[in-house]
Structure formats: structure tokens, C-alpha cells
Amino acid sequence: MSENKFQQAELAALLGVIERLAGELSLAEEPARFTAALEEGAPAAGGGGAAGSPGPSR
């Protein structure tokens, strides 16, 4: 397989996965919800280390 054909096949596979899954997305789902998901998924302040501190002032 030539380099070009190989890359095209790789890309087509990736795009196929995206297209298949994107059909399930609701209108409200947007990229910025990723960082919100991180914040919401974090343990309660200090929960992980049991020694939480306020954020740095810098």
C-alpha cells in the first residue's frame, strides 16, 4: 500500500468511528463540556489527598 493510500485508509477509519458515534449526540452537547466534566468529576476539596489547600494566589 502506498503512503498516500495508507494514510487515506487510516483517516477513513477514524472518520467512520466519529460519524457512527456522533449520531448519538444531543443538540446540547458541546466541546466545552469537557472541562466542565473534569471539574465535576473531581473529588470533594481535599478528598484525594485529605490535605486540600486553597488554590494558589498566583
Please give the residue ranges that form the binding site for other proteins (CB under 8 A).
1, 3, 6-8, 10-11, 13-15, 17-19, 21-22, 25, 29-43, 45-56, 58
Cβ 24 to other proteins shortest distance, Å = 8
The CA dihedral of 37, 41, 46, 49, to the nearest 10 degrees, is: -120
Say how far apart CA 19 and CA 53 lie, in whole Å.
43
Cβ 31 to other proteins shortest distance, Å = 4
Cβ 23 to other proteins shortest distance, Å = 10
Contact 15, 8 (CB under 8 A): no
